[in-house]
Chain A
Amino acid sequence: MIEMFEYDFMQRALVAGVFIAILASVSGTFVVLRRYSLMSETLAHSALVGVAVGLVAGYNPLWVAVVAAVLAAWLIEYLRSAFSLYSDAILSILLSGSLAVAVIIVSVGGSFNNSLFSYLFGSILSVSYEDVLTIIVFGTASLIFLLLFSKELYFIAYDEEVAKTSGIKVAFLNFLLVTVVAIIIALSIRVVGSLLIGALMVIPTVAALQYRVGFRNTMLISLFFALFSVFFGMGLSYYFSLPSGATIVLCVIAIFIFSLVINKK
C-alpha cells in the first residue's frame, strides 16, 4: 500500500483525507449529539451553491463554498429562532433550494461538466496544493475551536437549558458551532463530495455510540473509525479504480454495521 503514496496527488489526497477525517469525526460527535445530523446534509448542498458560483465566476470553488455554507448555517439558525417552523422542514427546504440554485447557476454559466461532478461525489485526483492549504488553514482553526469549547458544547448537547442557567453562553456557542460545522463541510466536499460528506460526519459517531462508553472515548473511537475509513477507502479506491468518496463512505457504513451487530443487546 506504500507505493501509492509515491505519487504527488496521492500524498495531497492523504494529507487532505486525514485532516477531513479528524474534522468530520470530532465535529460529528457534537453534530449527532445535538441532533444536527440532517443539518450537515443541508449545509453540504448549500456549499454546492458556492462551488457553482466559484466554477462560473472563476474563483476557487472551495473558498466560495466555505462562504456559502456559513451563510446557509446562519440562515438556518435565524429561521429557527425567528419563525415557528419545524426545523427539519427548514432543513429540507434549504437542501433542495440550494441544489436547485446551484444547478441553475452552473447550467446558465455553461459549466455543467465534470468539475461539478467531482464536487458532488468527491475526487482524490483533483485535490490541488491550494485545496490542501485551504483545508489545513481553516481546518486547524475549526479544530482549535472545537477542542477549546468541547466541555461547554458537550454540556449544551446534553441539556441546553441547564447549561444556560449555569451561565454558559448557549446562543453564542450554538452560533459558533454551526459556523464551524459549515466550514468543515465545505472543506470536505473536495475529498468526499457534497452528497457524501454527511455520512463521514455522522456515521463514525453513530457507530462509536454503539460501544456505550463515556464522551471522550466515544469521540476517540469515532476519530479512529473515520481515519481508518479514509485510509482504507483511499487504498481500495486507488487499487480498484473506485470513486474515492463513495468508497470511504461504504467503509464507514461497514464499520457501523459491524459495531451495531457486535454490540447488540
Chain B
Amino acid sequence: MQLNFRVPIFDVKNLSFEVRGQKILSNISFEVYNGEYIAIIGPNGGGKTTLIRLLLGLEKPSAGEIKIFGKKLANFKEWYKIGYVPQRASLVDENFPATVEDIVKMGRTARRGIFANFSKEDKEYVKDAMVKMDILHLKDKMVGTLSGGQRQRVMIARALASSPEILILDEPNTGVDVKSQHRFYTLLKKLNREDNITILFITHDIGVIADDIGRLFTINQKATICNDPKKTLSCEDMSELYGIEAHLLHKHKHEH
C-alpha cells in the first residue's frame, strides 16, 4: 500500500452553529480520512443533518473552520469529488419528467462545461454507476414509477456518476423496506472496500451497521467520536446520547 501524506478529506475544527441564539452544534472537531467508513448517529434534532449541511457548504458556521481536501471550504472548487445523497432521496416528485438515466446523468452535469453536451466519457460513467447500483435495466423507466429501494439506488448512482472520493448520505434508508436496506448496506460496504470510496452517513439503524463501520460519530449538539463502534453501542452510552429513547432503541435491536 502506498504511503502518502495524509491530508484529511474533511478537517473540522471547533465548529459551532446556532440559529437565532439557539445552539445546534457546539465546538465540534474531527477529521475524515480517505477510505474510512463512518456512521453518524444521534437523536432527532441533535444536529446530524445540520452538520452535513455545514460540511457541504449549504449552511455557514457561526464559528470554527472546515477544510476539504486541505482547502478552506470557501475556496474549495472540486465539488464533484463529493457525492451527496440527501435525506429525501426516496421521496421524489412523481410527476417529474425524468427517466432513471436522466437522473443519473445529473451527476455528470457539473463536470461538463456549460457549452458542452454530455460526452462519450460521461455516458460511460453514467452507465458504470447504473451497473454498480444494479439499475441499468431500469434506465428508461420514469423515476416516479420506481419503488423506494430502487429510487434510493438511483440517487446513489447519480452521486457515483461524478466519480466521487467520498459519499455523504443523510438517512438513506428513509422510506425503504427492510430487504432493500440489507442490500443497501452490502452495496455501501462494497463501494467502500472495493472502490475505496470514503463513506460518511447518518443512520438510525444502529444494530445493523455495528459490524461494518470503522468509526462512529455520535452527535447531540456536541460530538463524541468513537473509534471502536461496538463498544460505544452499549446500552449505557445510548442512554446518555438519546436519553429516554435508548430503551426503545435497545429493545428494537433485540427484536430483529
- Cα distance, A212 to B98, chains bound together (Å): 8
The residue in chain A whose Cβ has the minimal distance to the Cβ of B92 is A158
Count residues of chain A with CB under 8 A from any CB of chain B.
Answer: 26
Give which listed residue, A33, A166, A217, contacts B110 with CB less than 8 A. Answer: A166
Given contacts A148-B115, A161-B58, A162-B86, contact A168 B98 (CB under 8 A): no
Contacts of A209 in B (CB 8 A): 95, 97
Give which listed residue, A157, A162, A164, A212, contacts B142 with CB less than 8 A. Answer: A212
Consensus secondary structure, chain A interface: helix
**Contact between chains at B84 and A165 (CB < 8 Å):** yes
Contacts of B106 in A (CB 8 A): 151, 154-155, 158-159, 162-163, 166
**Contact between chains at B142 and A158 (CB < 8 Å):** no
Contacts of B37 in A (CB 8 A): none
- Cα distance, A218 to B78, chains bound together (Å): 32
The residue in chain A whose Cβ has the minimal distance to the Cβ of B118 is A151
CB of B77 within 8 A of chain A?
yes
CB of B96 within 8 A of chain A?
yes
**Contact between chains at A214 and B86 (CB < 8 Å):** no
CB of B56 within 8 A of chain A?
yes
Within 8 A of A (CB), among B115-145: 115, 117-118, 140, 142, 144
Give which listed residue, B56, B77, B99, contacts A165 with CB less than 8 A. Answer: B56
Q: Across the A-B interface, how many residue pairs have beta carbons closer than 8 Å?
A: 79
- Cα distance, A165 to B85, chains bound together (Å): 10
CB of B107 within 8 A of chain A?
yes
The residue in chain A whose Cβ has the minimal distance to the Cβ of B85 is A162
CB of B112 within 8 A of chain A?
yes
CB of A129 within 8 A of chain B?
no
Contacts of B101 in A (CB 8 A): 214
CB of A78 within 8 A of chain B?
no
Q: Mark A211-228, 1 if CB is under 8 A from B, else 0.
A: 011110110000000000
CB of A5 within 8 A of chain B?
no
CB of A110 within 8 A of chain B?
no
**Contact between chains at B110 and A167 (CB < 8 Å):** yes
CB of B57 within 8 A of chain A?
yes
Within 8 A of A (CB), among B48-106: 56-58, 77-80, 82, 84, 86, 93, 95-99, 101-103, 105-106
**Contact between chains at B98 and A158 (CB < 8 Å):** yes
**Contact between chains at A166 and B97 (CB < 8 Å):** no
Contacts of B152 in A (CB 8 A): none
Contacts of B142 in A (CB 8 A): 212-214
What 10 A-B pairs come out closest when comparing CB atoms? A167-B79, A218-B97, A166-B110, A214-B99, A167-B110, A155-B106, A165-B56, A165-B84, A155-B109, A151-B109
Given contacts A162-B158, A166-B80, A166-B162, 10 further A-B contacts (CB under 8 A): A151-B112, A151-B118, A154-B106, A158-B93, A161-B86, A167-B77, A212-B95, A214-B102, A215-B97, A217-B97
Q: CB within 8 Å of B: which residues of A?
A: 33, 148-149, 151-152, 154-155, 157-159, 161-168, 208-209, 212-215, 217-218
20 A-B Cβ contacts within 8 A? A33-B97, A148-B114, A151-B106, A151-B109, A152-B109, A152-B114, A154-B102, A154-B106, A155-B109, A157-B96, A158-B96, A158-B103, A161-B86, A162-B84, A165-B56, A167-B110, A212-B144, A213-B97, A214-B102, A217-B97
